[in-house]
Amino acid sequence: MLLRHTSEEIATRSALTINPAKTCQPIGAMYAALGIHSCLPHSHGSQGCYSYHRSTLTRHYKEPVMAATSSFTEGSSVFGGQANLVQAITNIFTIYNPDVIAVHTTCLSETIGDDIPQIVSKARDSGAVPEGKYVIHTNTPSYVGSHVTGFANMTKAMVDYFSGKNGKKDKTVNIIPGYVEPSDMQEIKRLTSMMGIKTILFPDTSNVLNGPQTGRYKMFPKGGVTVDALKMTGSSMGTIALGLLTSGPAARALDSKCKVPCEILNMPIGLTGTDIFIDTLRQVAGVTVPDAINVERGQMIDIITDMHQYFYGKKVALAGDPDQLVSLVEFLVSLDMQPVHIVTGTPGKQFEKKIKELTEHLPCNVNVFAGSDMFMLHQLIKNEPVDLIIGNTYCKYIARDEDIPLLRFGFPILDRVGHSYFPTVGYRGGIRLLEKMLDLLLDRKDRDSSEIEFELVM
């Protein structure tokens, strides 16, 4: 709906969310599970929940997202979903034959207290799980956290179920990419390949949710990290986790379980974030940075230098996921822009503290809210207008009502394409973000210019 009746008077709300700036845990868990090769995500709950999770991912990626469900009925809701899940596991392996079933819970199954490990054990004892096949799980109640929490929980489950040591340290680096696009995961692999580093990226949705149109349907695309690779993560010489909230839990679990040291970094969005990522890779793997990567970095700096005047002092409002927002704010500050309103739907005081540290030297007041919503963002913008909004598709209503350019970023993006094919991480991704921001700002400048100010060359 349009939000023209949003009030300017901000009141404290402790029990009401209006237009959430997040989605629920099972969506993130389902997305992470799709990053395992030949894996079928399974939603242990009602068919309505499962349909919402699938449809949201399908609309974002414009790809058919396959998953299964326990299809709770009234009886399952009262007496538990054990029979449903055992039957589902039997049917899935018999009909679809995946290598892995990744079970995530929903509000309903969490509320009634289904014991997933016990149910899976019963299914295995009854012969429902074939030899060489796997069933993993994670708990993802929708009333806790957000989709990024679900992603983190499922990624940690990959470590809990699969990671092990082979008795030696392999010359391999684990990379946990965080909740990013398939294109970003592909870009991370491209950069590490250029540096000559052997990596295990998990999860990995590249070539799963951004694959080519071949005219033939494949239920399990060729992409995704394999089970064999996941088993080897415990023998790697180090782990680089990108994003404290989304990747940190899995990295710490791997360190605790297999004694693989980890470095937890911000996402490599923008110049500083990418510099730190590349330098950490260099140190962990003991390699040198090739000239080709230095050229990409120089190209990014060249654009910033040429177009800095159009970024300088521009006020920005942002909504999205915590890990992405931290890196985006760091990038905007380095461009001398002013991120003045920052809102995430995911709870966490640590996020607010980090944003305030990044923006403490700015010559303006910065509003930052965790566990908040789009209504709050709109109110903040009404009180202090901005030059640019960065956020997902739902921000388009605020952008339209307030006549502000919108850069679509994050999840979900339902009304545009390209995000699953063009990265925003790394130097190339930073160049794309610069281009998109610059286009929006200069289009607005052209639109509002007088005849005298309407320039041919910027």
Q: What pLDDT, on a 0 to 100 scale, did the predictor assign at position 2?
A: 52
Same fold, 25-158 and 170-290: yes
* 3-class secondary structure per residue, 349-365: HHHHHHHHHHHCCCCCC
The DSSP bridge partners found for residue 199 are 173
Q: Helix, strand, coil shares of the chain as percentages rounded to 5?
A: 45, 15, 40
**Beta strands across the sheet bearing 315-319:** 367-369, 338-343, 315-319, 388-391, 406-408
**CATH superfamily entry for domain 293-448:** Nitrogenase molybdenum iron protein domain (3.40.50.1980)
Q: Is the peptide bond before 412 cis (omega within 30 degrees of 0)?
A: yes
- Residues 225, 191: Cα–Cα separation, whole Å: 17
Instruction: Identify the DSSP state of 65.
Output: P
Q: Residue 418: count other Cβ atoms within 10 Å of its Cβ.
A: 12
No. of helices (H) and no. of strands (E), the chain: 17, 13
The DSSP bridge partners found for residue 316 are 339, 388
- Residues 264, 152: Cα–Cα separation, whole Å: 13
CA 190 to chain centroid, in Å, comes to: 19
Please tell me the CATH code under which domain 25-158 is placed.
Answer: 3.40.50.1980
Say what the pTM is.
0.96
What is the third-level CATH fold of 170-290?
Rossmann fold (3.40.50)
Domain residue ranges of the chain, discontinuous segments joined by +: 25-158, 170-290, 293-448
Residues in the chain: 458
User: Any residues with CB less than 8 A from the CB of 295 and at least 6 apart, and which?
Assistant: none
CB-based contact 40:100 (threshold 8 Å): yes
Structure tokens at 143: 């009333």
- Residues 393, 272: Cα–Cα separation, whole Å: 27
Instruction: Identify the DSSP state of 64.
Output: P
- Residues 360, 355: Cα–Cα separation, whole Å: 8
Give the SS3 label for residue 318: strand
The DSSP bridge partners found for residue 44 are 105
Helical H segments across 72-181, by residue range: 74-79, 82-95, 107-112, 116-125, 147-162
Structure tokens at 305: 């230098």
Q: What pLDDT, on a 0 to 100 scale, did the predictor assign at position 3?
A: 61
CA 300 to chain centroid, in Å, comes to: 24
CA 401 to chain centroid, in Å, comes to: 28
Per-residue pLDDT of the chain (458 residues; tens, 9 = 90+): 456 678 888 888 888 889 999 999 999 999 999 999 999 999 999 988 999 999 999 999 999 999 999 998 887 777 778 999 999 999 999 999 999 999 999 998 998 999 999 999 999 999 999 999 999 999 999 999 999 999 999 999 999 999 998 888 899 999 999 999 999 999 999 999 999 999 999 999 999 999 999 999 889 999 999 999 999 999 999 999 999 999 999 999 999 999 999 999 999 999 999 999 999 999 999 999 999 999 999 999 999 999 999 999 999 999 999 999 999 999 999 999 999 999 999 998 999 999 999 999 999 999 999 999 999 999 999 999 999 999 999 999 999 999 999 999 999 999 999 999 999 999 999 999 999 999 999 999 999 999 999 989 87
CB-based contact 345:21 (threshold 8 Å): yes
Q: What pLDDT, on a 0 to 100 scale, did the predictor assign at position 458?
A: 74
Structure tokens at 331: 């990038």
* 3-class secondary structure per residue, 239-303: EEEECHHHHHHHHHHHHHHHCCCEEEECCCCHHHHHHHHHHHHHHHHCCCCCHHHHHHHHHHHHH
